[in-house]
Amino acid sequence: MKPECAVEKIIEEGGKKIVVCDTTRARLLPVLQDVQDRKGYISDKDMQQIADMLGIHPVEVYSVVTFYSFLTAEKKGKHLIRVSNCMPNVMKGSEKVIKAFEKALKIKVGQTTEDGQFTLEETGCIGMCDRAPAIMVDNELVGNVKPGAVKKLIDGLSKAKKKKAKK
């Protein structure tokens, strides 16, 4: 059986167009994912090094980083809070949830707290319309979020951090 290829390309051979595996670009996403997992973001320097390593233009690396929401070129907080802003969530009050987070964290959406603990973002659909307003805290989905519960949620994350630090 032929091994699977994540990215294919068309080349001309003997006057015919054939589909072959683009091994260079097939490696790009796993490499980016690895840097993202280890550092939490992919710096300009990382992108340049990856481009050099794979022999592709840095702009190509940058365009992949900025295309996927799970990759980021900016350093984010230890905890990433994403509030879904698709229509069902807006109708169920996501704007109020955002305001509650902004107030509790003393930042605006899109910003990171000064201590580097929290980044607040809006995001598109997270597949939780039946439990809107919904958010993602790091990789965890949380549904039916009430603005009044936001402070407690943040306190819980902060306490978890202190507990870990004591161990």
Q: Which residues in this chain contact ligand FES in the complex, by CB under 6 A?
A: 84, 86, 88-89, 125-129
Which of residues 6 and 87 has its CB atom nearest to ligand FES in the complex? 87
| Closest residue to ligand FES: CB criterion | 129
Which of residues 100 and 126 has its CB atom nearest to ligand FES in the complex? 126
Which of residues 40 and 93 has its CB atom nearest to ligand FES in the complex? 93
Q: How far is the CB of 103 from ligand FES (least distance, A)?
A: 24
Q: Which residues contact 125 (CB under 8 A, 6 or more apart)?
A: 84, 86
Q: How far is the CB of 127 from ligand FES (least distance, A)?
A: 5
Contact 94, 148 (CB under 8 A): no
Q: Which residues contact 119 (CB under 8 A, 6 or more apart)?
A: 76, 77, 79, 80, 81, 111, 112, 113
Q: How far is the CB of 133 from ligand FES (least distance, A)?
A: 9
